[in-house]
Amino acid sequence: MPRLDDTGFRPLDAQELTGRARTHLLQLESPRCLLHAAVAGPFLALHAAAAHDGIDLRPASSFRDFDRQCLIWNEKFRGDRPLLDRSGQVLLAASLPVAERIEAILAWSALPGASRHHWGTDLDVYDAAALPADERPRLVPEEYREGGPFARLDAWLTSHAARFGFFRPYAAERGGVAPEPWHISHARVAEDCLARLDAAVLREALSSVELEGAGEIDRRIDDWHARFVRAVDAAPAAALMASLSPVSARELGDDGRMV
């Protein structure tokens, strides 16, 4: 296995890139989440800075493995889980041709093997202090707009995320994944993972799994990859520079443990 550099970074192999291995991950206990070992320290620093400004930054989702992504995909394809259009309106999955159904899924959920959550670099975040204790975030755009419970978090991330090496890969409408203001990504590690996850790696990961719509996916995988994997916002220079700082797993102390 390649050695870690001073930031705790090493390139991921194909199993790690596609969520079929966990050898790159670190379990944090507070806030509880599973992240790439080189991302855990920067995220804890981001979390502490948010807390200083009165924001209780919590991950609604961090690492997600290949099998979980397969389950989400198949349930959405079959209509067992809500399927939404790009504006957030519910669709009837069974009424859509296969290609249109796949497009609708991809607007909000990645193909198994193609999710940035596999890398341990990306999180869906919200401000727990802005919700009643018995409520969970819905992770819909209106929550992060003016008047929504997470509008302050949205503005805070715009001002501060890059200082800790993070950015939002789905900030703008690019004709692929719909904008996700809750989704943050660690610039350095994620950019390297994105460069390594080509269509061939994705095709191999999908070759031995039972996936709804598999025939259409295989036929158009190069197109899906270009539009829904590659077409993201580039990491700002400030985030890339900050993400070179050597805040690694070795500095976590009692906040984390290797898995």
**For residue 230, what are its two tokens?**
């590659």
Whether 7 is in a domain gets the answer no
pLDDT beneath 70: ranges in the chain: 1-8, 246-259
> Within 13 Å, how many C-alpha atoms sit on residue 173's CB side?
3
Note the pLDDT of residue 248.
40
Whether 259 is in a domain gets the answer no
Other CB atoms within 10 Å distance of the CB of residue 160? 15
Note the pLDDT of residue 35.
97
Whether 1 is in a domain gets the answer no
Note the pLDDT of residue 5.
54
256 forms bridges with which residues in the sheet?
A: 28
Could you tell me which of 126, 83, 125, 124 has the C-alpha nearest to residue 106?
83
Q: What is the C-alpha separation between 53 and 70, in angstroms, rounded? A: 38
| Total of domains in the chain | 1
Whether 258 is in a domain gets the answer no
Other CB atoms within 10 Å distance of the CB of residue 208? 6
Whether 8 is in a domain gets the answer no
Could you tell me which of 90, 86, 91, 40 has the C-alpha nearest to residue 63?
40
Domain span at residue 62 reads 14-247
Whether 3 is in a domain gets the answer no
CATH of the domain at 61: 3.30.1380.10
Whether 237 is in a domain gets the answer yes
Whether 177 is in a domain gets the answer yes
Note the pLDDT of residue 87.
86
